[in-house]
Structure 1
Amino acid sequence: MNLRHLVTGAALLILCIMVGCSLAEKRQEIPSPVTHHPLPKPIETSPTPLLGKSITIATGDISGVYFPLGQALASTYGQYGGAFTGTRITKASIENTRLVREKKAELGFATVDAIASEEHALSAEKQPLVPSQLCALTGLYFNYIHIAVTKKSGIHSLKDLTGKRIGMGPIGSGTELSAERILQAAHLTNDTQKHYFSFSQASQALRDGVIDAAIFSSGLPNPDVSSLANDVSLTLISVPESVITELQRQYPYYLKKSIPAKTYAHLQSDIETIAVKNVLITYRDLPTDIAYELTKDFYTYLPELYDAHLAAREIDADQAGKNIYLPLHPGAARYFEEKKQKQAN
């Protein structure tokens, strides 16, 4: 091989490397926050209003309940409705309300306390008041507050958290909101060391002794609490009656409920706590026929969500409009009215 061929080959090699690096840099500059689900061939033969529509669902942390339910729901809308679907990993409730309000997602999971907090903050900023941009597609299941500690921690009650290191959930999450309110109602706001972790991070921090307690707001069972209960000597502490009463005085949407002992390994008794409803939200001006079809498919194929998480078994169409704070979207309301009439006939 002569010198000219060597020089030419080297130049081509350098050019290819430069082009490749340039393309790689460009790819790295483009964020990809939405995971798109491949579109299977729709099972329904007749066209539906969802056919070819883009539906993005704002979910939550991958270790929570919103994420697997969002994945399953996206697959349902793609398989049966022919929609182009995507899911978005988020910090959950509060971020989801903002994404849906800004129409960066068609659907999102959120707790009622987070929705109410966001709506109140938004209305306080705007004079005169404007109607909410959010509607509910349906109420879902309840989130239960878990206050998890290890048995060797010596923590037996909420009062014992004084001076302790507590995992509060991610900053800006519904878990953080609930945790702050519980500590405030228990007069512990300034007497604790707060750490802001995702569910999986809080679980590991509790396991490693980095924190003394972790607060989770989640459907039952929470995967990380289940893992902790199996790996370490874990227990949950109850929310006292006085704290529940104070919370309900300020925020009526918090309900007194119990986490059954059978939910997690080694629990000796039911755990008294507070719970708050989850809602599948959308924006107000989503076309009525789309909202109707999304609601209809949700309930028609609800059993397919059961495999994603046991919390889906709590979802009941007859309770869809209760304790949800927001009005139902007109398309969703139409579906529930039709269902009610069919049951009456």
Structure 2
Amino acid sequence: MTLKTIVAAAVASTVIASPVMAQDRSDWPGNFTVGTASQGGTYFAYGSGWANFMAENLDISGGAEITGGPMQNMALVHTGDLKFGLTTMGPARESREGNSPLAPGMKMDNVCAMFPMYQTPFSITALSSSGIESISDIPDGATIGFGPAGSTSDTYFPRMMETLGVDFERRNGSWSDLGGQLQDGLIDVVAFAAGIPIPAVSQLEVQTDVNIIGMNDEEAEKVINNFPVSEFIIPASTYQSLEEPSRVVSMWNFAMANCDVSESLVYEMVKLTMENNDKMVSIHKAATTSVPENYDKNTVLPWHPGAARWFNENGYEIPEDQIHN
């Protein structure tokens, strides 16, 4: 091989390996932060790993921020306090319509979709020693932990429990804290809504015996008829404590950006995320569904122009009227 050939090959490989570096980055921020949720939950693990992945490959400083979850993330991204965040479709719809309990009447319409993440199953965990093996076993007046105030779980799970006739006392806190309270006998049940496997549940079952509780036919049908959720099966392999698949309900999650964020930055972030699913799965197993085919699960948020450009270039049609103008 001649010297000229070697040099030409080296230049070509450099161009292929660093396409982002060659483009105009004048409208990119010097750093970014993604709003996640509490420690011990899937949002924090997924969001932290994603931020690090973006930072390493785009040569931009980035990290995750602990927040109250989807509702608060919608507010923070809408106002521009955070450029990126993670949200669930239910809270996203309520926030866009001005029905967020954090800012009643404020229509949070400066939030744009980036890419699909995963479904959030709603599942219940109790200590095996409690004798609670089904939703109907939850005693009247039981103290139930619903996650951080304003989270997807806190927004919907109490309503679901009321619909199913459960009488309870409400407790809020981070997933890690509530898991500790359950283990110490300070609360009776934790009603989790997070991508699986939930770190706090995995930690709990290593330390003690737990029951992971699903829904029967009647309970699932009643919840699906009253809330923006669909049926979901938690595979038995998800947790050591499951002997068979557990039927619950779930809601889709999407990554989002403030609509004013640089189109080219969002394009590169979506490209990295959608074209490297193996890396995303190494960050969190829930990312097995963080694939472009699930773009159509977004029925709430307008698409960021940078995200829409990547999807349309790769054969996933997003109509013009669904793209933020």
Aligned to 2:321: none
Q: Is the 8 A contact 2:135 2:215 kept in 1?
A: yes
Point out 4+ residue stretches in structure 1 off by more than 6 angstroms.
none
- What fraction of aligned residue pairs are identical, expressed as a percent? 26
What code does the residue aligned with 2:124 have?
I
**SS of the residue 1:110 aligns to:** strand
CA contact (8 A) 1:182 1:247 kept: yes
The yes-or-no answer on 1:119 pairing with 2:90 is: no
- Report Cα offsets for 1:2-59 as digits up to 9, x if no partner: xxxxxxxxxxxxxxxxxxxxxxxxxxxxxxxxxxxxxxxxx72633455763322111
Q: CA deviation at 1:261?
A: 1.4
Matched, 1:107 2:84: yes
Work out which of the residue numbers 239, 251, 272 in structure 2 matches 1:264: 239
Q: What is the distance in 2 between the residues matched to 1:299 and 1:309?
A: 15
CA contact (8 A) 1:50 1:293 kept: no
Q: Write the distance in 1 (CA, Å) between the matches of 2:125 and 2:172.
A: 15
Distance 1:131 1:63, change over 3 A: closer
2:152 to 151, 155, 174: 174
Q: Deviations over 1:282-308 (max 9, x none)?
A: 122333223222211222344322222
Q: Which moved more, 1:235-244 or 1:55-64?
A: 235-244
Measure the CA separation in 1 of the matches of 2:211 and 2:148. Answer: 22
Separation in structure 2 between the aligned mates of residue 49 and residue 71 of structure 1, nearest angstrom: 26
CA RMSD of aligned residues (A): 2.3
Q: Does the CA contact (< 8 Å) of 1:49 and 1:290 recur in 2?
A: no
What is the Cα deviation at residue 334 of structure 1? 1.4
Cα shift at 1:214: 0.5
Which residue pairs with 1:36 in the alignment?
Answer: none
Gap regions ≥5 residues in structure 1 = 1-42
TM, length-normalised to structure 1: 0.78
- Looking at structure 2, the residues matched to 153 and 256 of structure 1 have their Cα atoms a distance apart, in angstroms, of 27
Which of 150, 157, 171 matches 2:127?
A: 150
Give the drift of 1:63. 1.3
Contact 1:170 1:176 in 2 (8 A): yes
Deviation at 1:323, TM superposition (A): 4.2
CA distance in 2, matches of 1:296, 1:330: 13
Q: Which amino acid aligns with 1:178?
A: Y
Aligned partner of residue 211 in structure 2, secondary structure: strand
Equivalent in 290, 309, 313 of residue 315 of structure 1: 290
Aligned AA (2:69): A
Shift of 1:234: 0.7
Residue in 2 that maps onto 1:216: 192
Corresponding residue of 1:4: none
- The answer as to 2:184 corresponding to 1:187 is no
Q: CA deviation at 1:111?
A: 1.1
Question: Number of aligned pairs?
Answer: 294
Is residue 93–residue 111 contact of structure 1 (8 Å, CA) maintained in 2?
Answer: yes
Q: 1:156 to 1:69 in 2, by over 3 A?
A: closer
Q: Residues 172 and 49 from structure 1, CA distance in 2 versus in 1: closer, same or farther, beyond 3 angstroms? A: farther
User: Any stretches of 5+ residues in structure 2 without a counterpart?
Assistant: 1-16, 318-325
CA distance in 1, matches of 2:215, 2:77: 32
Please give the alpha-carbon distance, in whole angstroms, between the structure 2 residues aligned to 1:160 and 1:131: 40
Secondary structure at the residue paired with 1:152?
helix
Helix, strand or coil at the partner of 1:74 = helix
Instruction: Pick closer, same or farther for the CA change 1:336–1:266 going to 2, 3 Å.
Output: same
Alignment correspondent of 1:55: 32
Partner Cα distance (1:48, 1:106) in 2: 21
My pick for the range that moved more, 85-94 or 50-59, is 50-59
